[in-house]
């Protein structure tokens, strides 16, 4: 049997996102963020944004999964007293960071991926100087991590915008947001660059979230690909600047790359699969190689894109600001066949696989497949920055959870990862599991869809003591890390 032991410098850790984890939404001078107006939901009841029309009428469109044209431009976000907004408290990392970092260090983490909240640094996105209290908070976090030799992996933008930028410019459709982003990134480099080597310019950039009155909605066609272009340019500019200011820095962007298989070997299904997978490769190829791929025009036509607004210097900007490594999230695999819609995440189930309680097909070998696929294509190191299993945990009277299902999921995925590294020789910088401490689900806004090694006493409406208690998987992961994978 091939050893599962990993290279000595392998990075082991966990990943979180500010609006799902941090809370403190009106503390330390933080401005409002697109996600602050999203209500809770569930598997069967989608999350909503709460918006008001100029005539006072309330509208509550479904959150991130809607298309741009569904929400009138004049709608303004509003907080309603009878609604619960999970991002406001999240699980309060803002006041629990010392305890949480100690718990993560207790498992042996040498890296922790977190996202900086843009509106904590620039409350509207348009100030000239960063908010000192926001800088202080992340300095405190990074310094606390340093006590345990844990290095940061910072996500500059995790699917979010200061609300002001979303409203004033219709988010990423405008080139104004490129400048706001680069100013924000520069503030992070200047303040945290002495202690941070690894950066991610965007989370799941291929999902292209960040528009108009809701600030997190998806867009289609022209808007979507214009926004993506502006994000490519913003990322490339930040990378070039980051390399100048921090010569040892390494930059990635993060892609939702859950695997996609053709549903059958029928040639039409195979070709549809090639095109469907390009819905994601488009983003990886452009940023990983520094230029648009040959199939871009066909893809634009398919999506009704007429002409993208590009500045003459963008070609050079993309070339210079290429990624150093390719980061991705992997949760599941899907299938597609001729006639299916185009999508980035989702798709039909696979009859050979079991599903999680939230209907996500579990496919460890798909992770090894995906790692090989990305490296074959781009030839740059990869970094798995999200992988994990959302499950309903039943805690006992002491808040202890026996989560063998999570251990099984992680063991199988980590074994597949080790095989890609040791047998296929795919260079992989590290693995940050989503999410080491229980936090709020992005898609449903629930608390009961838990991922963590550590249980947080909080329910779907934010009630609970917020007490943290390690689960059975905590000890298991500690042993995996202590043996650098050999115990898998």
Stretch of 68-76, 90-98, 287-295, 442-450 contacting ligand BG6, by CB under 6 A: 442-450
Per CB under 6 A, the list member of 170, 191, 203, 333 interacting with ligand BG6 is 203
Q: Which is nearer to ligand BG6, 36 or 204 (CB)?
A: 204
Q: According to the binding rule CB under 6 A, does residue 216 interact with ligand BG6?
A: no
Q: Which is nearer to ligand BG6, 63 or 170 (CB)?
A: 63
Give least dist CB 152 to ligand BG6, A: 17
Q: Look at strands 51-52 and 58-59 and give their pairing.
A: antiparallel
Give least dist CB 113 to ligand BG6, A: 10
DSSP-assigned beta bridge partners for residue 63 = none
Q: Which is nearer to ligand BG6, 292 or 331 (CB)?
A: 331
Per CB under 6 A, the list member of 38, 40, 92, 204 interacting with ligand BG6 is 204
SS3 per residue for the chain: CCCCCCCCCCEEEEECCHHHHCCCCCCCCCCCEHHHHECCCCCCCCCEECEECCCCCEECCECCCCCHHHCCCCCEECCCCCCCCCCCCCCCHHHHHHHHHHHHHHCCCCEEEEECCHHHHCCCCCCCCCCHHHHHHHHHHHHHHHCCCCEEEEECCCCCCEHHHHHHHCHHHCCHHHHHHHHHHHHHHHHHCCCCCEEECCCCHHHCECCCCCCCCECCHHHHHHHHHHHHHHHHHHHHHHHHHCCCCEEEEEEECCEEEECCCCHHHHHHHHHHHHHHHHHHHHHHHCCCCCCHHHHHHHCCCCCCCCCCCHHHHHHHCCCCEEEEECCCEEEECCCCCCCCCCCECCCCCCECCCCCECCHHHHHHHHHHHHHHHCCCEEEEECCCCECCCCCCCCCCCCHHHHHHHHHHHHHHHHHHHCCCCCEEEEEEECCECCCCCCCCCCCCECCCEEECCCCCCCCCCCEEECHHHHHHHHHHHCCCCCC
Per CB under 6 A, the list member of 196, 260, 416, 442 interacting with ligand BG6 is 442
Q: According to the binding rule CB under 6 A, does residue 63 interact with ligand BG6?
A: no
CA dihedral 347, 353, 354, 355 (to 10 degrees): -20
How far, in Å, are 42, 210, 216, 350, 379 from residue 66 at the CA level?
Answer: 16, 12, 9, 25, 35
Give least dist CB 425 to ligand BG6, A: 28
Give least dist CB 218 to ligand BG6, A: 13
Give least dist CB 379 to ligand BG6, A: 25
Residues 302-341 that bind ligand BG6 (CB under 6 A): 329
Residues 276-295: x/- map of binding to ligand BG6 (CB under 6 A)?
--------------------
Residues 147-186: x/- map of binding to ligand BG6 (CB under 6 A)?
----------------------------------------
- 126 among known catalytic residues: no
Residue pair 113/153 in contact (Cβ under 8 Å)? The answer is yes
Per CB under 6 A, the list member of 350, 441, 473, 484 interacting with ligand BG6 is 441
Number of residues located near ligand BG6, criterion CB under 6 A: 13
Q: Which is nearer to ligand BG6, 174 or 214 (CB)?
A: 214
Q: Which is nearer to ligand BG6, 187 or 207 (CB)?
A: 207
Q: Which is nearer to ligand BG6, 300 or 358 (CB)?
A: 358
Q: Can you tell me the distance from the alpha carbon of 5 to that of 8, in angstroms, rounded to the nearest whole number?
A: 9
Catalytic residue among 151, 279, 386, 446: 386
Per CB under 6 A, the list member of 68, 234, 256, 326 interacting with ligand BG6 is 256
Per CB under 6 A, the list member of 406, 449, 450, 471 interacting with ligand BG6 is 449
Per CB under 6 A, the list member of 100, 324, 373, 386 interacting with ligand BG6 is 386
Among 388, 260, 282, 387, residue whose Cα is nearest residue 328: 387
Residues 418-437 that bind ligand BG6 (CB under 6 A): 434
Q: According to the binding rule CB under 6 A, does residue 205 interact with ligand BG6?
A: no
Q: Which is nearer to ligand BG6, 323 or 439 (CB)?
A: 439
Per CB under 6 A, the list member of 11, 17, 362, 370 interacting with ligand BG6 is 17
Residues 64-83: x/- map of binding to ligand BG6 (CB under 6 A)?
--------------------
Q: Which is nearer to ligand BG6, 12 or 21 (CB)?
A: 21
Q: What residues make contact with ligand BG6 under the rule CB under 6 A?
A: 17, 20, 203-204, 256, 329, 386, 390, 434, 441-443, 449
Q: Which residues are catalytic?
A: 386
């Amino acid at each position: 049997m091939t050893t599962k032991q990993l290279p000595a410098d392998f990075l082991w850790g966990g990943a979180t996102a500010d609006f799902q984890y941090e809370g403190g939404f009106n503390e330390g001078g933080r401005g409002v963020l697109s996600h602050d107006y999203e209500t809770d939901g569930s598997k069967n009841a989608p999350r909503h944004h709460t918006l008001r029309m100029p005539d006072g009428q309330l509208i509550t469109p479904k959150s991130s999964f809607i298309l741009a044209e569904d929400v009138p431009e004049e709608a303004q976000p509003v907080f309603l007293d009878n609604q619960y907004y999970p991002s406001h408290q999240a699980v309060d990392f803002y006041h629990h960071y010392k305890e949480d970092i100690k718990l993560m260090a207790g498992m042996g983490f040498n890296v922790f991926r977190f996202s900086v909240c843009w509106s904590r640094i620039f409350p509207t996105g348009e100030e000239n100087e960063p908010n000192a209290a926001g800088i202080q908070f992340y300095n405190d976090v990074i310094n606390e991590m340093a006590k345990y030799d844990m290095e940061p992996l910072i996500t500059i933008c995790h699917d979010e915008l200061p609300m002001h930028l979303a409203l004033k410019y219709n988010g990423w459709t405008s080139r104004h947001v490129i400048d706001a982003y680069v100013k924000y990134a520069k503030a992070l480099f200047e303040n945290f660059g002495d202690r941070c080597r690894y950066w991610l310019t965007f989370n799941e950039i291929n999902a292209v979230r960040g528009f108009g009155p809701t600030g997190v909605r998806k867009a289609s066609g022209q808007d979507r690909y214009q926004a993506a272009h502006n994000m490519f340019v913003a990322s490339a500019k930040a990378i070039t600047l980051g390399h100048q200011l921090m010569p040892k820095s390494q930059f990635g962007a993060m892609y939702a790359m859950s695997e996609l298989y053709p549903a059958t070997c029928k040639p039409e299904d195979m070709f549809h699969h090639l095109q469907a997978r390009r819905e994601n490769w488009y983003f990886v190829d452009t940023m990983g190689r520094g230029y648009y791929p040959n199939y871009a025009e066909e893809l634009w036509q398919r999506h009704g894109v007429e002409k993208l607004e590009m500045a003459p210097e963008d070609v050079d900007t993309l070339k210079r600001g290429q990624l150093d490594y390719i980061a991705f999230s992997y949760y599941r695999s899907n299938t597609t066949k001729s006639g299916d819609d185009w999508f980035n995440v989702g798709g039909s189930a696979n009859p050979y696989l079991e599903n999680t309680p939230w209907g996500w097909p579990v496919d460890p070998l798909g992770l090894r497949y995906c790692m090989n696929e990305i490296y074959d294509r781009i030839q740059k190191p990869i970094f798995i920055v999200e992988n994990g299993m959302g499950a309903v945990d039943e805690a006992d009277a002491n808040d202890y959870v026996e989560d063998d299902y999570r251990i099984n999921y992680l063991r199988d995925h980590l074994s597949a990862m080790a095989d890609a590294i040791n047998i296929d020789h795919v260079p992989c910088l590290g693995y940050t599991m989503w999410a080491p401490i229980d936090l709020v689900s992005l898609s449903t806004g629930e608390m009961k869809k838990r991922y963590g090694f550590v249980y947080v006493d909080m329910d779907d409406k934010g009630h609970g003591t917020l007490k943290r208690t390690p689960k059975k998987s905590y000890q298991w992961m500690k042993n995996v890390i202590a043996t650098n994978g050999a115990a898998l």
